[in-house]
Amino acid sequence: MILDILTPEAQIFHGPVDFVTMPGLEGEFQVLNGHAAIISALKAGTLRFKASQEVSENEYLTQDGKDSSIYHYPINGGVAEMLGDKVVVLAE
């Protein structure tokens, strides 16, 4: 599936991922390819995803210490939408 992480200032990430874990208002949740369509508000926390291919150097993302294919991006809230094989996160 394709993940887009967007902020008012920049496109943080665009690329294929295996999963995305997000801080929802009711708790953390994860979406995988084939997940049902969903729109969810997000609270402050950390967005995590596993990249399906190598990610070019990115000043906004932090690699996980245990698995270099997992990346972290802190958010202050936002909205996530999954439709088909695409996840769009509009983050603050």
Going from N- to C-terminal start, the domains of the chain cover 2-91
Global pTM reads: 0.92
Instruction: Look up the CATH architecture of domain 2-91.
Output: Sandwich (2.60)
pLDDT in tens, the chain (92 residues): 999 999 999 999 999 999 999 999 999 999 999 888 999 999 999 999 999 988 888 889 999 989 889 999 999 999 999 999 999 999 99
Q: How far apart are CA 14 and CA 81, in angstroms?
A: 14
* Beta pairing partners, 62: 72
* CA atoms lying within 13 Å on the CB side of residue 17: 25
